[in-house]
A and B are shown apart, each in its own frame.
Chain A
Amino acid sequence: MSDKASLADGLRERAWKKAPPLAKTLTPDPFRVARLAHASQPRDQPLRQAQESAAWQRYLQALEEDRRLAVPQARALRELWRFASERVRCLRYPAAGVTADGDAYLSWAYRDLPRITLNVVVLRDGRLEWAFVDSHSGVHRGSEDPVAELPDEAVTELRRFARR
């Protein structure tokens, strides 16, 4: 993003913040969206990667304190990341969360890889369910029953999500 564009964005952002509440109800904050778009500028890449890495470490460190998670589940999440990142060099960070029913998940799904998704659910007892989806070819594979660790088949799919 150029300095001029940055300044223009700054001015627009300030104007939006001062806008009456009604205007804000009619349009979502465009600057959140703009910031997301700007996040893909190559110039900022090393900084963004460092920030993302730090945020991911904070996520991992907070797992044990997350009261929504059972102890085996938090342990399994950490172990899953260790297992996966050891087997797949430069594995991208997944989206991570906990559902309303208490299942934790890691999801490898990115806009720059629009067709493929790998999703791993970590159940409260620490067992895993995985699913790989290729929405273009219609191929999907995964576990129908929980497994103790990611099988080789899932690790093979995970390799598609290594940083290039």
Chain B
Amino acid sequence: MSGEGPADGTPLPADARVLRLPRPPPDFVPESWRPPYQLFEPSSDDKRHAEDRGLPVRVSVWDESLTSSEQARAFRAGRCLVLRVGVKNIRAVADQTNRALAVAYDRLEEALLSRPGAHGHAGIEGLARRSGEPKVEWKAALQRLADEAELIEWDT
């Protein structure tokens, strides 16, 4: 079981859609809200993890064709918010913002691989702030991506 699934770093197909379960979800959302860029911001843990593995910084997502939202939620404790975004939308944002955004499978640690949906784990690369990049420009790029995300589930 644990040997199956896409190899780490394999790009997701352009027609794939990914689920993002940001941790933690927002504490308050008003009517008609759009997700803030912070829900796609790499955390210090994401950066440390990437450095330890010698890989690009990846923001955790799940390939919807391999992992259902319920399976993805099982990897999270507590309240969940589930966003969905198409890989082609992410690529469009990459073009608009001149960033090397990519979505690649991100193999979970061995102990987790037997859990349902584990092989669908992936990551969006290219979201970390580049050295010398103006902060506002970086936030604008992340907000462009957040604007592409569709809210599909939300535990209030």
Chains A and B bind each other: yes
**A residues lining the B interface (CB < 8 Å):** 21, 24-26, 28-29, 32-33, 36, 39-40, 48, 52, 55-56, 59, 66, 92-101, 103, 105, 107, 109-112, 114, 117, 119, 121, 129, 131, 133, 135, 140-144
Give chain A's interface secondary structure class: mixed
Whether the pair A95, B33 counts as a contact (CB closer than 8 A) is yes
Binds A, one of B1-9, B41-49, B105-113: B41-49
* A25 CA / B74 CA spacing, docked (Å): 11
Q: How many residues of B are in contact with the other chain, CB < 8 A?
A: 39
Whether the pair B28, A93 counts as a contact (CB closer than 8 A) is yes
Give chain B's interface secondary structure class: mixed
* A94 CA / B31 CA spacing, docked (Å): 9
* A28 CA / B62 CA spacing, docked (Å): 14
Residue in A21, A33, A48 whose Cβ sees the most chain B Cβ within 10 Å: A33
Whether the pair B68, A25 counts as a contact (CB closer than 8 A) is yes
Contact indicator per residue, chain B 1-44, by CB within 8 Å of chain A (1) or not (0): 00000000000000000000001111111111111111001011
* A94 CA / B33 CA spacing, docked (Å): 8
Minimum distance in angstroms from A92 CB to a CB of chain B: 6
Chain A residues, CB < 8 A from B26: 95-97
Chain B residues, CB < 8 A from A26: 68
19 CB < 8 A contacts A-B: A24-B70, A25-B71, A28-B82, A52-B31, A92-B30, A95-B36, A96-B27, A99-B24, A99-B38, A100-B23, A100-B44, A101-B44, A105-B36, A110-B34, A121-B38, A133-B144, A135-B140, A135-B147, A140-B136
**B residues lining the A interface (CB < 8 Å):** 23-38, 41, 43-45, 68-71, 82, 134-137, 139-140, 143-144, 146-147, 151-154
Chain B residues, CB < 8 A from A29: 153
Q: Which of A28, A97, A135 contacts B143 (CB 8 A)?
A: A135
Query: In the complex, what residue of chain A is closest to B135 when comparing beta carbons?
Result: A144
* A93 CA / B70 CA spacing, docked (Å): 30
Known: A25-B68, A110-B34. A97 touches B136 (CB 8 A): no
Whether the pair A28, B45 counts as a contact (CB closer than 8 A) is no
Chain B residues, CB < 8 A from A59: 27-28
Chain A residues, CB < 8 A from B154: 32, 36
Known: A114-B147, A133-B140. A28 touches B43 (CB 8 A): no
* A103 CA / B44 CA spacing, docked (Å): 12
Minimum distance in angstroms from B72 CB to a CB of chain A: 10
Known: A135-B147, A140-B136, A140-B140. A40 touches B32 (CB 8 A): yes
Residue in A66, A95, A114, A144 whose Cβ sees the most chain B Cβ within 10 Å: A95
Whether the pair A140, B137 counts as a contact (CB closer than 8 A) is yes
Minimum distance in angstroms from A59 CB to a CB of chain B: 4
Query: In the complex, what residue of chain A is closest to B137 when comparing beta carbons?
Result: A140
Chain A residues, CB < 8 A from B38: 97, 99, 103, 105, 107, 119, 121
Whether the pair A94, B30 counts as a contact (CB closer than 8 A) is yes
Whether the pair A144, B134 counts as a contact (CB closer than 8 A) is yes
Q: Which of A21, A101, A114, A131 contacts B139 (CB 8 A)?
A: A131
